[in-house]
Each structure stands twice: as C-alpha cells, then as structure tokens.
Structure 1
Amino acid sequence: MSSFEEYRNKNGYSAKSIRVQNSHVNRLKSWCINQNINLERINYNQALQFIDSERERGILNQSIIRGINSIRIYFDYLLEIGTVKQNIIKRIRIRQNGKKVIPETLTPQQLETIYHDFMNIPEWEHKTQTAKELHKRNVVLLGLLVYQGLTSGETAKLETNHINLAEGKIYIPSTRKSNARTLKLQANQILPIKTYIEEFKPNPYLFPSKKQSDMICKIVEQAKKDHPEIIDSRQIRTSVIMNWLKTNNIRQVQYMAGHKSIRSTEQYRSHDLSDLTKQLELFHPLR
C-alpha cells in the first residue's frame, strides 16, 4: 500500500505542492478531531460545516477553494487504497468571487527577446562546466514555455520520441489538467533541441527530473535578471495564450493550450480588452 506522498509523487505533484496540500489536509484532520468526527467517514454536510468554520476563521474564499482541492486529492488517494468507497469532496463546488486575476501580459516581441537573450548568455557567466552544459537544457525548456506555453506538469511528461525535428513538431501528452495536442516548433528552437538530445541523450523522458517546477522556477529567475518585467512562469503561459487569441479562433486556442473546457480559454479572452478599450477611448473619450 503506497503512502499519500508516494501517491502524489506518482501523479507528478511538486514538492512545494505536496507541502501545501499537507497543510490543508492537516487542517481538516484537526477540525475532525475537535468535532469528534471520523475523517474517513465524513459526510457531505459535515464537509460543508468544515468550510463554514474556515470562513468564520476569516479564510478567504480563494484559499478555501485551494484547500478543498487539496482535500479532494487526499480523498482520491483514500479511494484508490480502498479506505473510502466514494470521494464526497468531489461534490463540493465553491463559487469564485470575481474573475480570474490575469497578470500583466508580455507581447510576442517581448517573449522572443527573452528567449533570444537567455539563449545567448555569454559563456563566461557560467561559473562551471556543468552550469554551461545545463544551460543547453534550460534553453530548450524556456523555449517550450515562451512558444508553446507549456506547464511544468507537461514538460515532466515529455519523452524524447515526442519530438519530431524533421516536421518541426512536438507532441504534448495529456496530464490531469490538460489535453494532449501536437504543436509547431519555432525555427529557432530546432537547433537547441537537436543539440540537447544529441549531447545529453535523454531517455525516455526529455527532462529527467522529479522537480520540474523547481527547475523551471530557477530558469525563470535567471531570465528575470535581464528582464525584470517577467513575474513567473504562469505569466509567460498566460501571455502565450492571450497572444494566440489575437490571431486564432477560440477553439483553436483551446486545443493549443490543452484546455479541457472552453470556459478555461474564455477566461483569457474576457480579459483581453486592449482593442475594445482603444475603441472606447476613440469614440467615447473621457471628459
């Protein structure tokens, strides 16, 4: 029987996500002990009482949603090992207040410059030979962020045979949160990917590392030194998707982004108000 941590490692959760999930699950466990409730037999109404108690503590709605998502994962684990017969937490849906917060986006030109500057970091900046070699891998990873808008969960599942350099395409397998799709590689990605595969010979995974999210955070932090306009990898993905929406229809972007629901894609479109704002200022100027 696997532990909860082993279950999450198997499903590709990062060390940071696991720590946050543990905090949320432990909060529920403490509440159940105080209420004399058997956690493994908690019912729907009792779960709602727990949510009410979190609100009474002043916990924000968004934080409660994240907590319930963590608890849902825990009950998926309990279901898998046969401790519970159903995941009652999946029945809980908490309405979010307001729209999804979209960070300031980067233009295609900005993303192009970020990738170009990172790729051409002078060799003398790499303090060791290992750092110099790993930079080749990091260039490939950053390219997949700024051109294909991949997440750390998706880069973790990439295999070497998912790359088709002859056709200039990459297959992105599905994850818990995204659909599989095939995307075009940009011309300036081809040589770095070819060099990386030939020199590192990764097999079967393209980036053999258990901590993809940590690795990507370090790459983004390095790129941020020359480009302080970068916030994080989420901002990069958001920018890619919103830029796609300016030149493709929403169904195409849903496919390219790997969104399982069209609603996920619509959230980005509803925030892309730049053209509308310009029109309003032109025809209805503020007095």
Structure 2
Amino acid sequence: MKLEQYLQGKYSKTSYKAHGYMIGKYLNYIGGKAETAEYKDILDFIAHLRKHENFSAESLKRYLSEVKVYYNYLLETGQRNGHPCRELYLKDKIDRQIKVDRLYTEETLESYLEKTRRDPDGPLKRRNEVIVSLLVYQALTVGEICHLNTEDINLEKAEIYIRSEHRKKARTLPLRAGQILLFYHYLNEDYPNLTKYLTINPSSGLGPIRLITGRLQQQVTPNALNRIINEKRKPEERLRPVKIRQSVIAHLLRKENDTRIVQAFAGHNRASTTAGYRQNELETLKSAVNTFHPIR
C-alpha cells in the first residue's frame, strides 16, 4: 500500500491531501533516511521548524502528529519494526487567548456584508449573501453553516436552528429583519435551480437537504466555504470566518452585561470561553497606545 492510499483510507477526501502535504514536508527534510530515522532525527526536524519556519506551538504539534502517522503507516505495512517517536510529546504551551484588540470592527463587518450585496454573481449572489449574513449576524462557524438544512430555517418565527457541533451547543437564534426577505427569495427563487441536479433530490427524502450548495450543484465543505466568501476580493480585503465570529462575540460582550446571554448566543459550553472575548479598559488603552504612539 502506498502512503497516499493509506491516507485516503484514514481521512476524508477533503482532508487527506493536507495530511499528505505535512508528511511530505518531513520527508523532504529527512531525505533518504526517512524509513530508518531515529528519535534524534525527529527532534532535529522539530527544531528546524521552530528555528527556520517560525511555526506556532500548535503547528509544531500538528506536524509531529503527522510524522507519527507516517511511522504508523510504515509499521502497518511492514516497512519498519519500531516507531521512533510514539512517546514524543511537545511541552510548548499553545496560546489560546483571543487577541481582542486585533478583531474586526463593526464597521468593517457591515462594509463586508454590503460589498457582498453588490456582488453581481448571478444565481449565486443571494447564496453568498446568505453565507456572509450568517457569519456577521449569527456568528456561525463555517462548519455550522455547511451543516444547516433547509428545515432549520423558520421564516414565520424569524428563527434559525443550529445543531450541536464540536464543543458547541445546539441553539435557536433570531434572524435579522433584512435576512427574512433574503432567505425567502433564496429558498424560493435560487435554491430550486441550484439543487435540481443534486444526486439527492429534495423530494426523494433520502437525506438532509443542505441550505448551502455549490456552483456545480455539489454540497459545500467548510474549506470550500472559506474560499467562496473571499472570491474576487483583493488580498487586503479578505476576511477570515473564524475572526468574524470572534469579532461578533467580542462586540456583543461590550454591549451586554450578562456573559451568559452571549454564551448562549455563541453556543459555548463554558462561560469561561465566552469571558475570554471580553476586553477590559486597560487592554483597550494598551492597544490604543501601541497603535497610535508616535514612537512605534
């Protein structure tokens, strides 16, 4: 079995190439002695990434994980007897603190949505506006948007239901007034044409009908959605979906005194996660000094 076949069997179609890329980076570094490498060789690779690639602690741990996958492959296919780094764990502390002072302003988010409204992308125009409105107004993750079904939208009650997903609670959120008409036109005018050639026909009852579909009538993945929302945008105009979500949550905390309200909105399991988005006055002052001080 070749490495690519092994990864295809272990990971999804959309992710196995990313795993292969990281393993490939290790193989390029280690050269011809990959199959016979020892513990010290793996440490040298991590040191190389740390010094020359300036990777974060999270990235270093991810690359080490992929190196372990590679040697699992060699073991399982009988190309090697021992695993050189199975018990190797990095102690680098991952910084999970939200950089509140670097988030998008409310004006930036509104401008982003307005540019999407003006985008002349034919039958996909309303679809793209639906996606960006869910990012800006409901602070959904790309995964949550991709897993929305048409039945999750209740226009009569002006509500949207978000299912539980990866450490996030299920919740029902209100739709903004402008979203109601947008969703109505999308579902009744654009959506039937976008889904008429899907393998799962909306009338077949064979599976959930996703709210978001692609240009070629395929269901959209989170990675594809990341690309969709920044198509035709200049590099300096591109926004990251995760940072949009973080920005919306941080802005809500500035306006709401009760963290629990924002916690329910975001679907966080723990109040401490929500509290991490709160910026106190001292942090605001420090950010302003760092930004506008004449000697920078």
TM interval, short-chain normalised: 0.5 to 0.7
Structure 2 Cα separation of the partners of residues 188 and 6 of structure 1: 45
Asked if 1:238 corresponds to 2:236, the answer is: no
Q: Which runs of 5+ in 1 are unaligned?
A: none
1:34 aligns to what? 33
2:212 aligns to what? 207
2:230 aligns to what? 220
Please report how far the alpha carbon of residue 155 of structure 1 lies from its aligned counterpart in structure 2 after TM superposition. Answer: 1.4
Task: Give the aligned CA root-mean-square deviation in angstroms.
Answer: 4.5
- Aligned mate of 2:61, from 59, 63, 68: 68
2:12 aligns to what? 9
Please report how far the alpha carbon of residue 253 of structure 1 lies from its aligned counterpart in structure 2 after TM superposition. Answer: 2.7
Higher-Rg member (1/2): 2
Q: Which runs of 5+ in 2 are unaligned?
A: 78-85, 196-201, 203-208, 214-218
Asked if 1:156 corresponds to 2:152, the answer is: no
Structure 1 Cα separation of the partners of residues 128 and 261 of structure 2: 28
SS in 2 for 1:268: coil
Please report how far the alpha carbon of residue 141 of structure 1 lies from its aligned counterpart in structure 2 after TM superposition. Answer: 0.6
Structure 2 Cα separation of the partners of residues 75 and 278 of structure 1: 45
- Aligned mate of 1:166, from 156, 176, 183: 156
- Aligned mate of 2:261, from 252, 257, 276: 252
2:104 aligns to what? 106
Asked if 1:184 corresponds to 2:174, the answer is: yes
Q: Deviations over 1:178-211 (max 9, x none)?
A: 4433222111111111211122145411113344
- Aligned mate of 1:132, from 119, 122, 137: 122
Inter-CA distance 77–250: structure 2 relative to 1 (3 Å threshold)? farther
Structure 1 Cα separation of the partners of residues 261 and 116 of structure 2: 29
Aligned length: 256
Please report how far the alpha carbon of residue 265 of structure 1 lies from its aligned counterpart in structure 2 after TM superposition. Answer: 3.1
Contact 1:163-1:169 within 8 A present in 2 as well: yes
Structure 2 Cα separation of the partners of residues 97 and 259 of structure 1: 19
The farther-off stretch of 231-240 and 188-197 is 231-240
Contact 1:156-1:207 within 8 A present in 2 as well: yes
The normalised TM-score by structure 2 is 0.64
Contact 1:242-1:268 within 8 A present in 2 as well: yes
The farther-off stretch of 170-179 and 237-246 is 170-179
Please report how far the alpha carbon of residue 33 of structure 1 lies from its aligned counterpart in structure 2 after TM superposition. Answer: 7.3
2:184 aligns to what? 194
SS in 2 for 1:95: coil
Structure 2 Cα separation of the partners of residues 279 and 258 of structure 1: 30
